[in-house]
């Protein structure tokens, strides 16, 4: 038998907590269903050295800034402590160990199926993030490769890789930082990069990089990219001289049109420049103890880390929802009304203003829309 409330929020990460707090502030009673045993579960298992790439002042959720004591770029542990403090401040009490298996229509309401923790409500907010959907491409020969293959989401620190030659595949934010982590531990590491990329510094002339897209969010992304290009070239230099390809679209246009966030460089380019990280091109296949590249000879590696991103697919979670997901199961819109009355997503689409900040904006918008729906 499902209990009922005004709104169901699925997930107690930043998006679920911010949305529940915003709903409660508008007088809507929200039940948070979280499959793990604590808030911020994904931040508890990110790699050890992770710090926010976006600055503290622009990454807090609505109603509670991240404390100054965390410094400009809070650590992973700081983020976990902040999310705990956020839940405490707004008296949010998620139901833990309550995985939602499916969300189904129940008349004009939604039913979140979570066994004895099932809930029914006219509003449901899916804030389940991307972490459950690691994307791992398949290359020929992978199954007989003798070394270890793991996704970046299970990497913690360099210790298990001592004495191994490691290949990191993918030059996104995780791949770049994991390669740097390995290089700084003295491990022989190569980074395979296939696609053209955008690289931006974490700060420009001492100003955190997020300041720029936030100030320019009313400009067409293409125009903002044209304005920023000379500054970025000055700060980053010519990445082509290392053999990297610059994306034909600027950072803001690439986020807007393709959902591809730029790489915020925290030192990886310097490590490439001084040879501590060796760049390789596209991977074509695996052999027993080596990896084959398109443009260079095969090389032996003891471990391969797939920093190949995430591809959320919510089709199983939302079997009844029509017109809200694309052909691969990712939400079409986030932080606003969907084609299904009462169904919302929070934090589901990458944003130029930083994902934490975007989550805050969306949480408030969702709560306002939910409040109006109740009044209608
Ligand atoms: C390595 C890394 C670094 C990042 N750094 C930054 C940064 O510096 N700045 C920034 O702005 N953004 C950053 N992001 C992006 C983004 O802000 C974070 O991923 C953030 O945690 C997203 O919050 P979320 O609540 O949407 O998802 P998550 O944090 O993934 O939380 C989702 C929650 O939903 C739960 N859940 C999932 N499925 C179910 C289910 N079926 N039933 C019940 N519960 C469920 C999960 O257990 C989890 O607790 C980073 C992302 C990554 C991967």
> Which residue's C-alpha comes closest to atom 26 of ligand 1?
129
Largest CA distance in the chain: 66
Lowest mean pLDDT among 29-33, 203-207, 282-286: 203-207
d(CA 320, CA 329): 13
Tokens of 310: 């995430």
Distance 366 CA to ligand 1 centre (A): 18
> Which residue's C-alpha comes closest to atom 41 of ligand 1?
100
How confident is residue 3, by pLDDT bands cut at 50, 70 and 90?
confident
* Three-state DSSP class for residue 159: helix
Report the pLDDT value the prediction gives residue 1, as an integer from 0 to 100.
58
d(CA 64, CA 20): 14
Work out which ligand 1 atom sits closest to the CA atom of 99: 42
Q: How many residues does the chain have?
A: 376
Q: What percent of the chain has pLDDT over 90?
A: 95
Report the pLDDT value the prediction gives residue 361, as an integer from 0 to 100.
98
Please determine, for residue 4, whether its predicted confidence score (pLDDT) is greater than 90.
no
Count of C-beta atoms within a 10 Å radius of residue 294: 12
Residue 112 · residue 8 · CB < 8 Å: yes
Distance 363 CA to ligand 1 centre (A): 14
Strand blocks (E) in the chain: 3-4, 7-10, 30-33, 102-106, 109-113, 119-121, 123-126, 148-151, 165-169, 188-192, 199-201, 203-204, 207-208, 263-265, 277-280, 283-286, 290-293, 299-300, 303-306, 343-345
The string of DSSP letters for 195-246 reads S-B-EEESEETTEETTHHHHHTTTS-HHHHHHHHHHHHHHHH--GGGGT--B
Please determine, for residue 2, whether its predicted confidence score (pLDDT) is greater than 70.
no
Work out which ligand 1 atom sits closest to the CA atom of 355: 11
Please determine, for residue 375, whether its predicted confidence score (pLDDT) is greater than 80.
no
Q: Whole-model pTM?
A: 0.95
* Three-state DSSP class for residue 186: coil
Work out which ligand 1 atom sits closest to the CA atom of 36: 47
Residue among 172, 134, 180, 173 nearest 153 (CA): 134
Average pLDDT, the chain: 96
CA distances from 62 to 181, 247, 333, 338, 356 (A): 32, 34, 21, 23, 10
Report the pLDDT value the prediction gives residue 79, as an integer from 0 to 100.
98
Distance 165 CA to ligand 1 centre (A): 30
Q: Which residues contact 215 (CB under 8 A, 6 or more apart)?
A: none
Note the pLDDT tens digit of each residue in 282-303. Answer: 999 999 999 999 999 999 999 9
**Residues near ligand 1 with C-beta < 6 Å?**
10-16, 33-36, 41-42, 46, 50, 52-54, 59, 99-100, 127-129, 131-132, 174, 317, 347, 354-356
């Amino acid at each position: 038998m499902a209990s009922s409330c005004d709104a169901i929020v699925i997930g107690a990460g930043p998006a679920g907590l911010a949305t529940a707090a915003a709903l409660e502030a508008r007088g809507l009673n929200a039940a948070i269903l979280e499959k793990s045993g604590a808030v911020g579960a994904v931040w508890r298992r990110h790699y050890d050295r992770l710090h926010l790439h976006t600055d503290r002042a622009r990454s807090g959720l609505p109603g509670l800034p991240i404390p100054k004591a965390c410094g400009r770029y809070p650590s992973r542990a700081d983020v976990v402590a902040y999310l705990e403090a956020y839940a405490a401040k707004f008296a949010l009490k998620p139901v833990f160990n309550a995985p939602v298996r499916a969300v189904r229509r129940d008349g004009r309401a939604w039913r979140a199926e979570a066994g004895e923790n099932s809930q029914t409500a006219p509003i449901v907010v899916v804030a389940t993030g991307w972490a459950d959907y690691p994307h791992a491409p398949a290359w020929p020969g992978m199954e007989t490769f003798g070394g270890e293959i793991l996704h970046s989401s299970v990497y913690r620190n360099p210790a298990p890789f001592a004495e191994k030659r490691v290949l990191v595949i993918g030059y996104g934010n995780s791949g770049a930082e994991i390669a740097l982590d390995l290089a700084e531990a003295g491990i022989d590491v190569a980074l395979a990069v296939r696609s053209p990329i955008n690289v931006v510094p974490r700060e420009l002339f001492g100003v955190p990089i997020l300041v720029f897209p936030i100030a320019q969010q009313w400009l067409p992304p293409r125009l903002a990219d044209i304005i920023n290009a000379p500054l970025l070239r000055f700060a980053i230099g010519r990445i082509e001289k290392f053999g990297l390809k610059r994306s034909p679209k600027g950072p803001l246009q690439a986020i807007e049109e393709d959902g591809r966030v730029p790489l915020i460089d925290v030192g990886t380019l310097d490590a490439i420049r001084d040879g501590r990280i060796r760049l390789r091109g596209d991977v074509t296949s695996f052999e027993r103890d080596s990896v084959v590249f398109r443009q260079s000879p095969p090389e032996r590696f003891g471990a391969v880390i797939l920093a190949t991103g995430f591809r959320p697919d919510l089709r199983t979670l939302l079997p009844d929802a029509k017109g809200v997901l694309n052909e691969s199961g990712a939400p079409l819109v986030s932080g606003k009304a969907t084609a299904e009355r009462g169904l919302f997503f929070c934090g589901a689409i990458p944003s130029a203003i930083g994902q934490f900040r975007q989550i805050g904006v969306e949480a408030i918008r969702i709560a306002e829309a939910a409040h109006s729906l109740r009044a209608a």
